[in-house]
Amino acid sequence: DAGVIQSPRHEVTEMGQEVTLRCKPISGHDYLFWYRQTMMRGLELLIYFNNNVPIDDSGMPEDRFSAKMPNASFSTLKIQPSEPRDSAVYFCASSLQSGAKKYEQYFGPGTRLTVT
C-alpha cells in the first residue's frame, strides 16, 4: 500500500485566500484524522471521521475551518479565509476500526502551509 497520501506538500498563500488540503487514507481504514502541528501548540487534533462521518470536530479552531469526507478514499480540509496564524504543518492520519492494530495511526507526510 502507498500509505496515506497528502497534497499539496507545500502551500504558500496570501491572507484571505481559500486553502484546500487533500488526503487519501490507506485503503480499508475506517478512521481518518486531521491534525495541525506548530512549535507553539504541538500536535493538535482538529477533526476525525469514522466511516466517512465526522465524529468529533471540537478541535476545529474556528468557522473558517471545514472538513469533508465524501467517500472512503478522500477527505479535504478547507480554510476560508486563511490567516497568517493558520501557518502550520497539517497532517492526515488513518487507522483501522478493529483488529490487533486498531489503535495505531498511520500518518501522511503532511502539508506545510504558509500564509503571508
Catalog residues that contact other proteins under the rule CB under 8 A. 4, 31, 33, 42-43, 45, 48, 50, 55-56, 91, 93, 95, 97, 102-110
Q: For residues 14 and 104, which CB has a smaller minimum distance to other proteins in the complex?
A: 104
d(CA 113, CA 57): 20
Q: For residues 82 and 111, which CB has a smaller minimum distance to other proteins in the complex?
A: 111
Contact at 8 Å (CB) between 96 and 29? yes
CB of 34 to other proteins, least distance (A): 12
Q: For residues 70 and 99, which CB has a smaller minimum distance to other proteins in the complex?
A: 99
d(CA 37, CA 26): 21
CB of 84 to other proteins, least distance (A): 21
Contact at 8 Å (CB) between 32 and 46? no
CB of 16 to other proteins, least distance (A): 28
Contact at 8 Å (CB) between 59 and 92? no
Question: How open is the CA angle 97-59-12, to the nearest 5 degrees?
Answer: 105
Q: For residues 74 and 106, which CB has a smaller minimum distance to other proteins in the complex?
A: 106
